[in-house]
Amino acid sequence: MTAASPVISVVLPARDEGDRVGATIASALDAAAGPDEVDIVVVDDCSEPGSRPGIADGPARRRTTVIRSDRHLGVGAARNLAARHARGRVLFVTDAHTRFSDGWDREALRLLTPARILSVTVRDSSSQWRGYGCRLVIPYMGTRWNTSLPGPAPHVHVASSAGTVLEHALFDRLGGYDEGMVQYGGFEPEFSVRAWRFGAEIVHTDAIEIAHRFKPEDECAAFVGPRRTAMVHNCLRFGTAHLPESMILEMVRLHALEFPDHIQAALTMLEQRGAWRRREELNASLPYDFAWFVRHFGLHDQIGRPVPAT
């Protein structure tokens, strides 16, 4: 690592990603207009010994800090840990299996402002499909990719999970990702809605493109299966934190219908992890309520009804 502080820190949690991590790091540095101003912070989130991050010797290793966790942190806590070790003024949050477009760092610095979060274009590395940030599905509290550029700003509800860029100071003011969530799922949408309610804006850009390895269907099913209860809990926590009270029961009902084998355990986790206390904290600290977010985007629920204000 050079003595000078980096300008941009790439924040990269990794669990059982092996050599994909090294390829991602190489891509970030090779595609950067100013690689000397970039560092990488990898959190090895309790990978199995044979699948720990593989990073080749040379410049990539010198510019990379690897933090090993001996317990499984989950996506949010791993990103937060990486951010605490990041020295850059700007954070580029991505995944362990991505490729960067040329000049990504130059474009990030050109487009960022202190109260702005960038959502970058995500391309499927095995096809021509592209995602332009995500929209929120209410009251289910899931997301759907935008498959065409949003307008007019172009603002998006939710930043791209494989490419979220913001100033380190803003990340700290927002409090990072919600560590009351567990394992996987829901972190980016909750962070994004909280950012909007804080007074930040999320702007999508097609000037930066990340090629992302999406899991094949069988691999995805094997990955999601053991994490389903956690994912249901995370959606419920997200909704409990932000939705009008009148919509929370509908959110629970939707998840109970879709995941009857997981809902009871997810509700138990919701109570144990202080979801209602989190709601009170956010309502007391954020200048905008969820009703403002709804008005700002002119949102309706997933079957076209107006979202109630309370």
Percent of the chain with pLDDT over 70: 99
pTM: 0.94
- Tens of pLDDT, residue by residue over 175-203, are 999 999 998 899 999 999 999 999 999 99
- Kindly tell me if the per-residue pLDDT of 309 is higher than 50: yes
Q: In Å, how far from its chain's centre is CA 244?
A: 23
Per-chain mean pLDDT for the chain: 93
Tokens encoding 118: 């960038």
pLDDT score of 1 more than 80: no
**Mean pLDDT of all residues in 130-147:** 95
Read off the pLDDT band of 2 (50, 70, 90): very low
The predicted structure's pLDDT at residue 168:
98
- Second-level CATH architecture of 8-217: Alpha-Beta Complex (3.90)
pLDDT bracket for residue 4 (50, 70, 90): low
- Burial letters for 189-217: b for 16+ Cβ neighbours within 10 Å, e otherwise? bbbbbbbbbbebebbbbebbbbbbbbeee
- How many degrees, rounded to 5, is the angle at CA 158 between CA 155 and CA 163? 95
pLDDT of 129 reads 95
Which residues, other chains included, contact 217 with Cβ-Cβ below 8 Å and sequence gap of 6+? none
Measured CA to CA, the distance from residue 39 to residue 106 in angstroms comes to 14
Domain boundaries, the chain: 8-217, 220-297
Measured distance CA(46)–CA(88) in Å, rounded: 25
